[in-house]
Amino acid sequence: RKKELRKLLDQPTVSADGHRVELAANIGSVEDLQKVFANGAEGIGLFRTEFLYMERNSLPSEEEQFQVYKHVLERMNGKPVVIRTLDIGGDKELSYMKLAAESNPFLGLRAVRLCLSKQDLFRTQLRALLRASSYGQLKIMFPMIAVGSELREAKRLLREEQEKLAQEGISVSAAIEVGIMIEVPAAALAADLLAKEVDFFSIGTNDLIQYTMAADRMNENVSYLYQPCHPSVLRLIRMVIEAANREGKWVGMCGEMAGDETAIPILLGMGLHEFSMSASSILPARALIKQLSRGEWVGYIGELLSMDSHEHIQQFVKQKIRGDL
Ligand code: PEP
Ligand code: MG
């Protein structure tokens, strides 16, 4: 089986009926790049930048960040690299940044909310990203966007830093894409509005499921509610994909669900363009997609979304793919 999978290393990801999608890797550090190459990723769909800020005593400088982003873009040699701006707060804290205690940190000053309230910190990261953009195919992604005004404010800061760099004579790629993660139900429900203001969406199901089901993703006591294939979650995902498609924008997924064998056929049928996952899931996912008929799965979506439970939906998919394999 391993040998079979290795044959798919340099192959594009195409369904049995010729529909092409992209399989990308999630990374959390420069060291992860090795696995990206070893597993045939077509790009990086999520670069979590938190590691740059954690386990140290002060904020990373612009130069330090620039070097890391540049390195990753250069190593990826023109393949797409989605870099997510800082997602701190919630469960992740910084020892050197004293934040007010919150009784519901996951509903508090987290990710882009924190960045917009600490603009110096945010501007430093944006400048480092902009400077690195000329070394590859950079896509900048804002996490935890709930409403359009957050996106517009983040884009305004990005534009301002870009103008400053231009005045300093520093070149910035003209091809940078700017997108958002869809991980808050409010954003999913208004995806048609947000789609007009972005170049892409990436669905962050780890958080989208937690917020949709009102079940802490780390809390064992409510883990039974953490259901990627629940009709509520799938309906939201379909809304997001359709909203992006209607605006001609690409849409990916970078939560764990993107690498889940039961979810992949459904996502393919719904029209997801990019699946970003742990590098080790890429070759099995490519092998699975090669066996699937995209047209057939498009046809199953209506029926799947009318089923009443996670279990029924999973059972349906498992039966169908057993037939395919
Ligand atoms: C997500 O929420 O699905 C996601 C990819 O982000 P993180 O797991 O870093 O919160
Ligand atoms: Mg998240």
Alpha-carbon torsion (27, 33, 36, 42), positive or negative: positive
| Ligand 1 atom nearest to 143, measured from its CA | 6
CB within 6 Å of ligand 1 — which residues?
46, 48, 87, 183, 204-207, 254-255
DSSP string, 226-260: --TT-HHHHHHHHHHHHHHHHTT-EEEE-SGGGG-
215: number of Cβ within 10 Å:
17
| Ligand 1 geometric centre to CA of 181 (Å) | 9
Q: Is this prediction's pTM over 0.95?
A: yes
| Ligand 1 geometric centre to CA of 260 (Å) | 15
Rg for the chain (alpha carbons), in Å? 20
Question: Is there a contact between 5 and 283 (Cβ–Cβ < 8 Å)?
Answer: yes
| Ligand 1 atom nearest to 206, measured from its CA | 3
pLDDT reported for residue 13 = 98
Residue type, 196: K
| Ligand 2 geometric centre to CA of 144 (Å) | 7
Mutate to test the pocket of ligand 1, among 27, 87, 207 (most ligand atoms within 8 A of CB): 207
Q: Which ligand approaches the C-alpha of residue 258 most closely?
A: 1
Element (H, E) at 147: none
Q: pLDDT in tens for each of the 325 residues of the chain?
A: 889 999 999 999 999 999 999 999 999 999 999 999 999 999 999 999 999 999 899 999 999 999 999 999 999 999 999 999 999 988 788 999 988 899 999 999 999 999 999 999 999 999 999 999 999 999 999 999 999 999 999 999 999 999 999 999 999 999 999 999 999 999 999 999 999 999 999 999 999 999 999 999 999 999 999 999 999 999 999 999 999 999 999 999 999 999 999 999 999 999 999 999 999 999 999 999 999 999 999 999 999 999 999 999 999 999 999 875 5
Mutate to test the pocket of ligand 1, among 48, 112, 144 (most ligand atoms within 8 A of CB): 48
Output the CA–CA distances (angstroms, integers) from residue 196 to 11, 72, 178, in the order listed: 33, 29, 12
| Ligand 1 atom nearest to 255, measured from its CA | 3
* DSSP single-letter state for residue 29: S
pLDDT reported for residue 2 = 87
What residues pair up with 203 in beta bridges, in sequence order?
Answer: 182, 253
Which residue has a Cα nearest atom 7 of ligand 1? 206
pLDDT reported for residue 325 = 55
State how far the Cα of 122 lies from the Cα of 116, in Å rounded to an integer: 7
DSSP string, 163-213: HHHHHTT----TT-EEEEEE-SHHHHHTHHHHGGG-SEEEE-HHHHHHHHH
| Ligand 1 atom nearest to 50, measured from its CA | 9
pLDDT reported for residue 123 = 98
Nearest residue to 65 via CA among 52, 75, 56, 55: 52
pLDDT reported for residue 225 = 97
Nearest residue to 92 via CA among 111, 119, 120: 111
